[in-house]
Amino acid sequence: MNILTLNCWIHSIHYTLCSGVDWSVLATGELERVAIGGTSISQRSPGRESYSARVECVDHRDAIALVIATLTDPQHGVIDDKRQIAAVGHRIVHGGEEFRQPVRIDEQILATMRTLAPLAPLHNEPNIAGTEACMDLLPAIPHIAVFDTSFHQTMPECAYLYPLPYEWYEAYGVRRFGFHGPSHLYLSRRAAALLGRPVVDCNLVTIHCDRGVSLCALRNGVSVDTSMGLTPLEGAIMDTRCGDIDPGIPAFMIHAEDLSMTELNRILNLKSGITGILGRQVQRRDYLAAAMEGDPQSVLALQMESHRLKKYIGAYLAAVGPVDAIAISAGTGEQEWISRQETFAGLECFGILLDREKNRTGAVGRAEARISAADSSIAVFVIPSDEERVIAEEVMAVLSGDCTDHAHRDYSFSRPGFKPVDRA
């Protein structure tokens, strides 16, 4: 049984095909520049040369068709026929309060997903476009939605409600939802395993670091607070998103620049964060490299980013109580050591002591590493996240009828002896 996982963005798609028997990865790949010209696909398979090509895709249906064609290609593919795909797991960013568990997708589920699209327009709309295309191209197999927000449904009211008119929550569902659920789930389970304890006995802070950034506070293995909110715009400084700002700024700038709400929303989501500070969009690894070389604006961006992360870590230490470990994902490359070093500097007062050498050399590629000093009272781990694995296992749970709440589910990556997959 092979499971295909899809993560569809506006102009890119990430996919993985894995075995539902031993969870081995058969292929992983991505498409870039979907629907904007110059579309490219890259696919990697264990033990084989990487394959890349340029094939124009005018929409997500074209893109999903290309994924299937590449997986089944006689020369570059890894399966003989699309019928060897048993199920598809779709990452859906926003599930609102309607979806607390992964679900099998039908027309009613799709209709509900569409009503939630305005809460995450940069994510849910392409998520849904990819889902509809895949269901059309692979109609005979189950399609499972795995929601980012489901993981955070354990938050108490005091954490997920905003200090706004309560009728806004009653009428419109205005509340904190949180995102990156599969990543936080994986990080927390791996951190508990590295501590040698059941996750229900662990208090943790997990940090997902990529184009989007979010933190999660976990008490006894479940989310009790998280940095993203009603939408993925709140929280830490991100690649193009502003994160936390004074709520008065939008009204001020609408008046000052005569902006429409659409224009303002685009600026906050696509032209802010690191991009806004630098004045241009650059790859994260390039921005960190520039900061290490002393570029003033890049240094400023790094200082701002680490300052915001440091504040969240301190707040979550207070919110959770005694914390056993902090787990941070590996980010986008080897340069991430400088961001971690700046983030954890000054947290010694909390008993968090970083081993600078381990931080710089011990967390490379897909390797997990403990980067805290031997006498640190709180362990700090770098753990390459594996959201695709989580999605695939959620698919199997739905298909087997064993989709209990995630806090008590038996994930393979929580078990003793688990070895992270070294992706091709």
Q: How confident is the model at residue 119 (pLDDT cuts 50, 70, 90)?
A: confident
Residue 423 in this model has a pLDDT that exceeds 60 = no
Between helix 284-292 and helix 296-320 the angle, nearest 10°, is 110
- 2-153+388-414: CATH topology is Nucleotidyltransferase; domain 5 (3.30.420)
* pLDDT of 364: 64
Supply the pTM of this predicted model: 0.95
Residue 424 in this model has a pLDDT that exceeds 60 = no
Domain boundaries, the chain: 2-153+388-414, 196-385
Q: How confident is the model at residue 108 (pLDDT cuts 50, 70, 90)?
A: very high
Q: What CA–CA distance (Å, rounded) separates 273 from 236?
A: 9
Report the DSSP pairing between strands 143-147 and 85-92.
Answer: parallel
- Are residues 57 and 35 in contact, defined by beta-carbon separation less than 8 angstroms? yes
* pLDDT of 109: 96
Q: Is 383 helix (H, G, I), strand (E, B) or coil?
A: coil
DSSP summary character for residue 9: -
Catalytic residue among 62, 73, 148, 246: 148
Residue 121 in this model has a pLDDT that exceeds 90 = no
- Are residues 371 and 123 in contact, defined by beta-carbon separation less than 8 angstroms? no
Report the DSSP pairing between strands 40-44 and 25-32.
Answer: antiparallel
DSSP E strands in 220-297: the ranges are 222-226
Q: Are the folds of 2-153+388-414 and 196-385 the same?
A: yes
Q: What CA–CA distance (Å, rounded) separates 211 from 14?
A: 14
Condensed to tens digits (0 to 9), the pLDDT of residues 62-102 reads 999 999 999 999 999 999 999 999 999 999 999 999 999 99
pLDDT (average), residues 192-216: 96
Q: How confident is the model at residue 365 (pLDDT cuts 50, 70, 90)?
A: low
Residue 366 in this model has a pLDDT that exceeds 70 = no
* pLDDT of 367: 83
Mean pLDDT of the chain: 94
Q: How far is CA 285 from the centre of its chain?
A: 18
Condensed to tens digits (0 to 9), the pLDDT of residues 168-178 reads 999 999 999 99
User: Is-catalytic flag, 80?
Assistant: no
Within 13 Å, how many C-alpha atoms sit on residue 16's CB side?
Answer: 23
Condensed to tens digits (0 to 9), the pLDDT of residues 239-286 reads 999 999 999 999 999 999 999 999 999 999 999 999 999 999 999 999
- Are residues 330 and 210 in contact, defined by beta-carbon separation less than 8 angstroms? no
Q: What CA–CA distance (Å, rounded) separates 127 from 109?
A: 13
Residue 422 in this model has a pLDDT that exceeds 80 = no
Q: What CA–CA distance (Å, rounded) separates 114 from 129?
A: 10
Sheet holding 51-54, edge to edge: 51-54, 40-44, 25-32, 12-19, 2-8, 85-92, 143-147, 103-104
Q: How confident is the model at residue 45 (pLDDT cuts 50, 70, 90)?
A: very high
CATH number of 196-385: 3.30.420.40
- Picking from 75, 71, 49, the residue whose alpha carbon sits closest to that of residue 134 is 71
Which tokens sit at 390? Answer: 């989580």
